[in-house]
Each structure stands twice: as C-alpha cells, then as structure tokens.
Amino acid sequence: MQLAERLNLSSVIKTDSEIYEPLWTRKNIDTLKSFREDCELVAKGLKQELIKCVKDGKTLILEGIHFNELVVETIRKIITEGGGIFIPYFVTLSDTYSHDNMINEWLERYKIQNSVDQVKSRILLVQSNLRRQHQNQIILDDFPKTLDCIHESFLRSLEMYTFPEISE
C-alpha cells in the first residue's frame, strides 16, 4: 500500500483476499497442489479486473503470494495485449528471526493453532517454486529504505519500457 501511495496509484488488489482459507493453515494437504489450485482461482478472478483496468487506462498494483507462472503469464498477456506495462516484483524477508516473529504474530492475531515451523515450511516450499523476477529484500529495521529501493527499481523498469533507446 505504501508503494501505491508513493507512486500515486489508487488501485491495489491483494491476491490473498481472494482465497477464503490461508494455505499455511490447512490440514492434511499437498501444499504445492493446493497452491496451484489457489493460483488458478486468482488468475480467473483477476482476468476481468485486469481487462477493465487496461481498457480504462488505470494503473494497478497486485500484491500477495499467489503469483505462480500461470498467474504471471495471464497478467502479462492481458496487460501487454492491451498496450500496458507489466513490472513484476518478488519481495522477500531474509532475516530468519524477523520472519519467525512475523509468522508468530500472524498466528496469534488470527488465533491459528498451527506451529511456526509448519507454517514456515509451507511458505518456504511455495517460495522455492516461484520465479524471482526483480527480487527485493525487505529490511524490517529500515522499511523506508526498502521502499526506496523498490521505488527506484520500478522507475528504472518504467524508463526501460517507455524509453528503450535511452536504457540501452
């Protein structure tokens, strides 16, 4: 949301809000299969919204975990065919201690009984199967710096698309 505010973009869609039950908390599942199924639902749900945004010339930030190859290619196809620009980012948190604390806080906030280790192992499994394009690491102690890095990277990517002759 803060990146959207900084870039003066009004539309943000969270892919996680499209899924009723978080993947990390489901009982007795094949994590990668369930993730692929969730991504298929997200791709279907995003399709019309993306077409409308491209048609209306609106900017949009999509955020969430549900970005496998199918979703990324669905987005890329709709946007580029409509004359838009698609700039994907993969944001990670490398600090294990902070990552564990964030999972603990999330489990407590939503009163979920799963263990941190179980949730973390599912998160890492899914993340290891994602394409990492424009990867940026979050620095929790200096989030504004992280936001600055993503913002700068976004502007460079936008310049490359808008003025390809300059960026060569």
CATH number of the domain to which 47 belongs:
3.40.50.300
Tell me whether residue 85 is in a domain. yes
**Is residue 168 situated within a structural domain?**
no
Tell me the per-residue pLDDT of 49-62, one tens digit each, with 9 for 90 and over.
999 999 998 888 88
Domain contains 115: yes
CA 81 remoteness from chain centre: 22
49 belongs to a structural domain: yes
| Helices 31-56 and 116-128: angle between axes, nearest 10 degrees | 60
Range of the domain at 124: 2-162
What is the model's pTM? Answer: 0.78
pLDDT tens digit string along 102-128? Answer: 888 888 887 888 888 888 888 888 888
Q: How many independent structural domains does the chain possess?
A: 1
